[in-house]
Amino acid sequence: MAGTNNRTTLITDPPIAQLLFNDTRLSWLWLIARLYVGYSWLTSGLGKITNPAWTETGEALRGFWVTAVQIPAQGRPPVTFDWYRDFLTFLLNGGHYVWFAKLIVFGELAIGTALILGAFVGIAAFFGAFMNWNFLMAGTASINPVLFTLSILLILAWKTAGYIGLDRWLLPRLGTPWGPNIVTRQEVEEAKPREDIDRDRKRPAA
Reduce the secondary structure of 187-198 to three states and give it as a string.
HHHHHHHHHHHH
**Cα–Cα distance between 35 and 33 in angstroms, integer?**
6
Determine contact, residues 97/62, Cβ cutoff 8 Å: yes
Q: What is the pLDDT of residue 175?
A: 73
Domain boundaries along the sequence of the chain: 27-166
60 to each of 43, 66, 85, 111, how far by Cα in Å?
A: 17, 10, 18, 21
Bridge partners for 179 per DSSP? 176
118: helix, coil or strand?
coil
What amino acid is encoded at 55 in this protein?
T
From first CA to last CA, the distance across the chain in angstroms is 30
Q: How does DSSP classify residue 102?
A: H
Residues across the chain: 206
Nearest-10 Cα torsion for 105, 111, 112, 114:
140
Q: What is the pLDDT of residue 206?
A: 47
Q: What is the pLDDT along the chain (206 residues), one digit of tens a residue?
A: 555 566 788 788 888 989 999 999 999 999 999 999 999 999 999 999 999 999 999 999 999 999 999 988 777 888 989 999 999 999 999 999 999 999 999 999 999 999 999 999 999 999 999 999 999 999 888 899 999 999 999 999 999 999 999 999 998 888 765 555 555 555 555 555 555 545 545 555 44
pTM of the model: 0.81
Q: Give Cβ neighbours of residue 85 (< 8 Å, ≥ 6 apart).
A: 68, 69, 77, 79
